[in-house]
Amino acid sequence: MEETKTYTMPLIGDKAPSFSAVTTQGPINFPEDYKGKWVILFSHPADFTPVCTTEFMTFATMADEFKALNTELIGLSVDSLYSHIAWLRKIQDLEWNGMKGVEVKFPLIEDIKMEVANKYGMIQPSSSTTQAVRAVFVIDPEAVIRTILYYPASTGRNFDEIKRIVVALQKADAEQIATPANWRSGQDVIIPTAGSCGVAKERMESQDEEKYCLDWFLCFRREKK
């Protein structure tokens, strides 16, 4: 009897599983080829499908915005390399939502054996055993998973939100802050909660114009406009 392989889905804070793969931009080795880079690894159910087509057009037009954030894009589906190539060529012929002549320059992984998809929990049997779900993994330069998003097949992803997440994570890492609900770049940020009664009292009585508190546990830093 053939042994069934089981996979544990990686979680936030885990090292991203390593892999080697054939892609539309040549072979890649992850994470070795992406040292010092942020990475967005995302899967889609199938080539030549409507929602996926709009997603790839959108991601491709935003590729330079992500590069400016030191972030590389890697796509994946369980289709063949030749299917990928044919689909990406067809995308260049399409026009939608103000986008046309879109060239997808980031790598799209061929994963016919579902090896990478299984490592990342992208195949979810209750949804489909032959297609990957719409998964998004935001991975930092140390190859640590920082964000995981999953979408059903019927719902296209919000790519502005994916970019917002990268910006927020990078700012949090650089400045040791947190970002409040619906935060956008340039808006005020949350500073770490006071760790003692003394610091809490000091903050509540502070006249520092750069910081303000709604209460001792919820304090903000004003961002320069």
Going by the annotation, the residues of the binding site for substrate are: 134
Burial class (CB in 10 A: 0-12, 13-18, 19+), 183: middle
Contact 191, 219 (CB under 8 A): yes
Which residues have CB under 8 Å from 215's CB, separation 6+? 204
**Phi-psi group of 171: left, alpha or beta (phi > 0 → left; psi -120 to 50 → alpha; rest → beta):** alpha
* CA distance linking residue 21 with residue 45, whole number of Å: 18
SS3 content of the chain, % helix, strand, coil (to 5): 30, 25, 50
Which H or E element spans position 203? helix 197-205
Report residue 170 as tokens.
Answer: 């990078």
Q: Are 117 and 150 spatial neighbours (Cβ–Cβ below 8 Å)?
A: no
Q: What is the dihedral of CA 24, 27, 33, 34, to 10 degrees?
A: 20
Instruction: Indicate which residue of 52, 197, 213, 219 is catalytic.
Output: 52
| Active-site annotation holds for 52 | yes
Residues of each annotated binding site: 134
Look at the block and give the residue holding tokens 């060529």.
89
Question: What is the set of active-site residues?
Answer: 52
